[in-house]
Amino acid sequence: PKKIIIDQHTKWAEQQFAKSELGDLRRTARLVKLASTLANESGKPLVNIIQSAADMEGAYRFIRNEHIAASAIAESGFKATTEQAQTHNLLLALEDTTTLV
């Protein structure tokens, strides 16, 4: 049997997006995989971090899919953040008020 190693980026992506309501479980799985990959290689272009042609095509299909609403992805993140915040007794709301001129 193949051993599967789950790293911190995958755990984070699952916590944030596994409950996304995108109309199809395959879309949600693609979102989790894409978010994990992007988090693991943050700051790099998508074409430089996705290794296989099939995964690249899947990522572009996901991005271009008109049936996936950005608001549904955001809502999943908001809900996950709310759930995580409820486990703490004290929360700090920090704000950066710096402006670039």
In a domain, 36, yes or no: yes
In a domain, 63, yes or no: yes
Going from the C-alpha of 58 to that of each of 39, 72, 79, the distances in angstroms are 17, 19, 26
Overall pTM > 0.75? yes
In a domain, 32, yes or no: yes
Summarised one tens digit per residue, pLDDT across range 16-40 is 999 999 999 999 999 999 999 999 8
**What CATH number is given to the structural domain containing 46?**
1.10.246.40
Containing structural domain, residue 51: 8-85
In a domain, 99, yes or no: no
Summarised one tens digit per residue, pLDDT across range 41-78 is 888 998 899 989 999 999 999 999 999 999 999 999 99
In a domain, 97, yes or no: no
In a domain, 100, yes or no: no
Number of domains in the chain: 1
Task: Please report, to the nearest 10 degrees, the dihedral formed by the alpha carbons of residues 39, 14, 94, 91 taken in order.
Answer: -150
